[in-house]
């Protein structure tokens, strides 16, 4: 028998405290001292491991921590929720829409939070950080940055950046209103960043491409946009081309969602085998110690609302409806412990999130159920007092049997996908539904139960962030954003696993502003050359509203202001009585 069991997230967090290097230990030490910390570094330096280590350490110290991320995909990887969901923010169009307001439950969890961990912060703008800080100050009634919550941030500004909506707004012809929220600037270009006295720890040691220093250095130069970096990388790639061992099953990394979806749908349709559809089951759970039925109902209602309003169910990688066929290329979306029984002896091996393979067959649920029962019998045989890890595994097996029996009641022909994973094991492994938990600290969890697989002929550079791959085919031809090429190329553990096309100077983009942060040349102060609020006269010289926003902010006394500008403040302070906003029609 061979089965897969979900890794115990609690034990994974505990494991993260082991074998930390000196820089990683410093991150944990600063967090325990109560400092605001930014953990940065190139891809593959262990930022996610440090997040887990800090989370474990703070919880052991009795701190109420909340784990969040800039996107649902990133949140899913760290067993957290989106920053928007935790703070009760909507994706806003104006500073009046979603900032400074929140339900009673939102306010309660924000007030109780001691430390807020935020992953992939490169995609959060400076404008958002200032607005967020003002929002948290109001809820907590605390004038300190972010209302006094300890902020622990993770990311790399030279990877994927925030989506600035300024150009899109200009193209619409509707002009600017000072109250518009356009997601401007980088996080470090905010007042909040400076006022928080953020301590930056840069992780230097690269573990993903360990031992291949030529590849590591070439990637670093691509990341920072060094002169000649593209030519250097091309030369290294061609030099190693004869050693490339990329198979036909290699994952294709592309620039846009449309391209990835098109490739996956086209390839799935080519397969002549039967299509099986697996539908996710969503539920919410509140902490077990909440015994007041009215309070429980309030929390459950809020969790349901967050799931819908924030469209998290559409944005996460865990599909609501998953279509699979025999022969389909797939990717694992969860860490699993694979248990193999040979002659009654159970051995275990880790199957990691991001592992790739193909659907070898669809097996009867009856056969799979009987295999699980046999596995459980072998695991508990001769065991007098099961360990915590064994109890976790037994509970997982019982859940799988329960799910299979429920499916068989509805349809006695229910099938289970058996996946052969590349370079993992000579046998196909049955993959059953598991729980994906999106926890909102102080409220409860949204849980989606689904087969932890995704079609894997193609994926976007954005969705590849955080992956470690042995091989990939990188199509740079439709890369459009700074950092995309670096993110895609740095997923590879070795240059011998890389095939690429469309790689040229146009595809490789680096933000000079983000680069200046790491060069130490960017400072956020009143006379600094740049902040998210700066009016760019070269691009917007015909736009009076953009100029007005900067004038309003700079006229604040003292500068910088104690809090960010809100709608009432804007209405009171603009001094051009002849101007009328083309966006909202107000003077």
* Max Cα distance, the chain (Å): 87
**Phi (first) and psi of residue 586, to 5 degrees:** -95, 150
Count of CB atoms situated within 10 Å of the CB of 143: 10
Reply yes or no: is the peptide bond before residue 518 cis, omega within 30 of 0.
no
Residues in a beta bridge with 4: 338
**Where does residue 36 rank: exposed (0-12), middle (13-18), buried (19+ CB within 10 A)?**
buried
- Rounded to whole angstroms, the Cα distance separating 221 from 228 reads 9
Tens digit of each residue's pLDDT (9 = 90 or more) over 335-379: 777 777 666 666 777 777 777 889 999 988 888 888 888 878 877
Q: Is 542 exposed, middle or buried (0-12, 13-18, 19+ CB in 10 A)?
A: exposed
Q: Which of 336, 446, 344 is nearest to 397 (CA)?
A: 336
Which neighbouring-strand residues pair with 420? 358
| Sheet of strand 251-254, all strands in order from the earlier edge strand to the far edge | 458-460, 251-254, 472-475, 498-501
Does 315 have pLDDT greater than 70?
Answer: no
433 by Cβ neighbours in 10 Å (0-12 / 13-18 / 19+) ranks as buried
| 470's tokens | 């042995």
Residue 268 pLDDT more than 80?
yes
Quote the CA–CA distance of 35 and 151 in Å, as a whole number: 8
Mean pLDDT (the chain, rounded): 81
pTM above 0.85, yes or no: no
CA 382 – CA 377 distance, rounded (Å): 10
Q: How far is CA 207 from the centre of its chain?
A: 20
Distances (CA, A) of 255 to 69, 81, 368, 458, 475: 21, 25, 39, 10, 8
Lowest mean pLDDT among 144-148, 211-215, 262-266, 472-476: 211-215
> Tell me, what DSSP letter sits at residue 163?
-
Q: What is the pLDDT of residue 534?
A: 67
Task: Give Cα separations from 568 to 78, 95, 572, 586 (angstroms).
Answer: 38, 10, 6, 12
Distance between CA atoms of residues 124 and 114, nearest Å: 21
Question: What confidence tens digit (pLDDT) does each residue in 398-447 have?
Answer: 888 888 888 888 887 888 999 998 777 778 888 988 888 777 766 788 88
- Cβ-contact 351, 332 below 8 angstroms: yes
- What integer pLDDT is reported at residue 272 of this predicted model? 92
What is the structure's pLDDT at 527? Answer: 47
Sign of CA dihedral 444, 436, 367, 394: negative
Can you read off the two tokens belonging to residue 419? 């996946």
498-527 pLDDT tens trace: 888 999 888 898 988 889 888 875 544 444
Nearest in space to 59 (alpha carbons), one of 4, 99, 110, 14: 14
pLDDT band at 529; cut points 50, 70, 90:
very low
Strands, sheet with 281-285, edge to edge from the N-terminal-most edge strand: 281-285, 444-450, 434-440
Residue with tokens 């198979």: 247
Which are the contacts of 471, defined by CB distance < 8 A and separation ≥ 6? 245, 246, 247, 250, 251, 492, 497, 498, 499
Q: What is the pLDDT of residue 567?
A: 47
Please check whether residue 157 is in contact with residue 40, taking contact to mean a CB–CB distance below 8 angstroms: yes
Q: Whole-angstrom Cα distance, residue 216 to residue 577?
A: 57
What's the whole-number mean pLDDT along residues 99-116? 82
Cβ pair 368, 430 in contact under 8 A: yes
| Residues contacting 349, CB < 8 A, separation 6+ | 337, 338, 340, 424, 425
In the prediction, which pLDDT does 582 show? 55
Enumerate residues 6+ apart whose C-beta is below 8 A from 347. 339, 340
Strands 281-285 and 444-450: antiparallel
Angle, helix 229-239 to helix 213-224, in steps of 10 degrees: 150
Sole residue written with tokens 């909507």: 90
- pLDDT by residue (tens digit) across 238-255? 888 777 777 777 889 999
Which H helix or E strand runs over 419? strand 415-421
Q: Per residue in 163-211, pLDDT tens?
A: 888 777 766 666 666 667 888 889 998 888 988 999 999 998 888 877 7
CA 221, CA 227: separation in Å to the nearest integer?
A: 8
DSSP H or E segment with residue 170: helix 166-172
Tell me what pLDDT residue 8 has: 65
């Amino acid at each position: 028998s061979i089965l897969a069991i979900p890794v115990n997230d609690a034990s994974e967090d505990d494991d993260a405290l082991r074998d930390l290097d000196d820089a990683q230990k410093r991150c944990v030490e600063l967090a325990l001292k109560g400092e605001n910390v930014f953990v940065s570094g190139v891809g593959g330096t262990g930022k996610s491991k440090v997040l887990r280590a800090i989370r474990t350490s703070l919880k052991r110290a009795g701190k109420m921590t909340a784990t969040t991320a800039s996107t649902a995909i990133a949140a899913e990887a760290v067993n957290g929720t989106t920053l928007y969901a935790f703070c009760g923010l909507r994706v806003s169009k104006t500073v009046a829409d979603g900032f400074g307001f929140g339900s009673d439950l939102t306010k309660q969890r924000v007030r109780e939070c001691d430390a807020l961990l935020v992953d992939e912060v490169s995609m959060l703008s400076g404008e958002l950080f200032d607005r967020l800080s003002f929002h948290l100050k109001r809820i907590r009634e605390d004038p300190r940055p972010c209302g006094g919550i300890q902020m622990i941030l993770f990311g790399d500004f030279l990877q994927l950046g925030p989506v600035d909506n300024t150009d899109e707004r200009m193209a619409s012809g509707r002009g600017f209103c000072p109250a518009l929220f356009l997601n401007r600037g980088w996080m470090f270009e905010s007042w909040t960043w400076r006022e928080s006295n953020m301590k930056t720890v840069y992780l230097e040691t690269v573990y993903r491409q360990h031992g291949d220093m030529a590849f590591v250095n070439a990637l670093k130069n691509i990341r920072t946009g060094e002169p000649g970096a593209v030519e250097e990388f091309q030369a290294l790639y061609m030099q190693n081309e004869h050693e490339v061992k990329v198979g036909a099953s290699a994952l294709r990394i592309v620039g846009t969602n449309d391209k990835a979806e098109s490739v996956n749908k086209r390839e799935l349709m080519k397969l002549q085998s039967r299509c099986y559809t697996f539908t996710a089951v969503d539920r919410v759970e509140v902490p077990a110690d909440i015994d007041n039925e009215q309070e429980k109902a309030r929390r459950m209602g809020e969790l349901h609302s967050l799931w819908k309003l924030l469209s998290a169910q559409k944005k996460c990688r865990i599909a609501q409806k998953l279509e699979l066929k025999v022969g389909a290329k797939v990717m694992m979306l969860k860490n699993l412990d694979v248990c193999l029984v040979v002659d009654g002896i159970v051995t275990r091996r880790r199957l990691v999130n991001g592992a790739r393979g193909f659907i070898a067959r669809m097996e009867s649920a009856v056969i799979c159920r009987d295999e699980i029962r046999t596995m459980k019998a072998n695991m508990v045989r001769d065991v007098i007092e099961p360990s915590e890890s064994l109890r976790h595994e037994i509970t997982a097996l019982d859940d799988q049997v329960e799910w299979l029996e429920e499916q068989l009641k509805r349809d006695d022909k229910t099938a289970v996908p058996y996946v052969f994973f590349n370079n993992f094991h000579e046998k196909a492994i049955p993959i059953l539904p598991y729980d994906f938990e999106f926890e909102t600290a102080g409220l409860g969890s949204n849980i989606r139960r689904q087969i932890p697989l995704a079609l894997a002929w193609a994926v976007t550079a954005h969705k590849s962030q955080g992956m470690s791959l042995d091989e990939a085919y990188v199509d740079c031809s439709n890369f459009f954003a700074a950092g995309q090429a670096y993110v895609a190329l740095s997923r590879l553990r070795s240059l011998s696993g890389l095939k690429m096309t469309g790689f040229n100077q146009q595809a490789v983009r680096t933000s000079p502003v983000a680069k200046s942060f790491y060069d130490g040349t960017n400072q956020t102060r009143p006379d600094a050359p740049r902040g998210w609020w700066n009016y760019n006269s070269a691009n917007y010289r015909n736009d009076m509203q953009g100029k007005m926003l900067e004038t309003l902010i700079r006229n604040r006394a003292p500068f910088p202001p104690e809090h960010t500008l809100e709608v009432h403040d804007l209405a009171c302070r603009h001094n051009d009585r002849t101007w009328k906003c083309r966006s909202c029609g107000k003077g």
